[in-house]
Amino acid sequence: MYCHIFCISIGEIIATFKTLEKDGTGQADFEKLWDKLKTVKTCSGRNFEDSELEMLIKASAGPEKLIDLAKYINLSCRIKQFRG
């Protein structure tokens, strides 16, 4: 199965999340997540600013302030659609 937004397989998304997971808890380690997202480019090809990443992470994490696999997929969609 392929995700049309990412042009990569769901398996690849899950595998990436597993590298960000902290100790098998099902939650992303925020430091690893931040470091990974700093390498991602916007649609226009520039690096994200810290404030932009912070906004996207907060929007995806919600009031629980946690990123699980579903929220990681949501975050990935937000990043791919970001036009800033």
pLDDT of 45: 83
pLDDT of 33: 92
Q: How many folded domains does the chain comprise? A: 1
Ordered alpha helix ranges (H), the chain: 10-20, 30-37, 50-61, 69-81
Mean pLDDT in each 10-residue stretch from start to end of the chain (84 residues)? 54 88 90 90 86 92 90 86 74
Q: Report d(CA 34, CA 3) in Å as an integer.
A: 23
pLDDT of 50: 94
At residue 49, what are phi and psi to the nearest 5 degrees? Answer: -80, 155
- How does DSSP classify residue 47? B
The whole domain housing 48 covers: 2-81
Three-state secondary-structure class, residue 43? coil
Any idea what the CATH number is for the domain that residue 54 is in? 1.10.238
Look at the block and give the residue holding tokens 């999340």. 17
